Copies of this chain bind each other. A is one copy, B any other.
């Protein structure tokens, strides 16, 4: 969410000399994406984003993420296109970090979601899943059930955040272990399609960014992530009309099977627990000199409690 690695003028111009994208006319660190350093780079030929991958991103995964963006961009989806240097390489090393220049996407991320935004989101999510169906690379989701268990085992002090939180999480992990769906359609998913990763121009989606949690997992889990992050208001109250439009529009582009629909409540519980656990870990292990205050894990306790009392999938599409 900030600039951790500085790139000086000579380093930049030397770096750009390997590309055919012109010379820098502007270069500004921006607050965007996960824990990487991002710069908005304008050149004599266009606008780009330069990302330096910081330690939370595993360099071995980068070809998978860049391949995913390239696959989507080449099919006309509004994903950033990794830019190749004159030798055909997109992934580079800069200032000692893995780095990549990607194309700039216009649009503004939305804080006040309407049903129209959620409808557009559902549609593009399905289109993204379909476009990635022939993306042959695979990457297991390190933040699914087994990953949540490991992450929780590494988290000390849940009850210092809220008394009873530890047993609440343990019971949920037990429930999900017994009920996590095993035979739903899977493929390449975004897995972190939060509002700040989607840019709109009006109600049209003109940008999807931050593919760094991309993985091979249950398609409908991506819907569950979106329901959690797009279909609650600021008081953590569920907004059924938004979820309905999201799921309906997804279904128009990629038909959801009855099994996928039936699994929505448990998938939403899993997605809520995933963000609860990563937020809880970050809350209890603040990074020294961190730029942003960790996000409150209790937001996702409230969402998880909602999903726990949902009777069936129909509750999401009333």
Which residue of A26, A112, A289, A290 has the most chain B CB atoms within 10 A of its CB atom?
A: A26
Structural contact, B32 and A106, CB atoms closer than 8 A: no
Structural contact, B30 and A30, CB atoms closer than 8 A: yes
**A107, CB-defined interface residue at 8 Å:** yes
Structural contact, B2 and A31, CB atoms closer than 8 A: yes
Assembled-state Cα–Cα distance A2/B28 (Å): 11
**A24, CB-defined interface residue at 8 Å:** yes
Number of chain copies forming the complex = 2
Q: What's the least CB distance linking A117 to chain B, in Å? A: 10
Q: Using Cβ atoms and an 8 Å threshold, which residues of chain B touch A26?
A: 104, 106-108, 199
Interface of A is mostly: mixed
Instruction: Please report the total number of A residues contacting B with Cβ < 8 Å.
Output: 31
Q: Using Cβ atoms and an 8 Å threshold, which residues of chain B touch A3?
A: 31
26 pairs across A/B with beta carbons < 8 Å? A2-B2, A2-B291, A3-B31, A8-B112, A9-B111, A9-B112, A10-B111, A10-B112, A12-B108, A24-B108, A25-B106, A25-B107, A25-B108, A25-B201, A26-B104, A26-B106, A26-B108, A26-B199, A28-B30, A28-B32, A29-B31, A29-B32, A30-B30, A30-B31, A31-B31, A291-B291
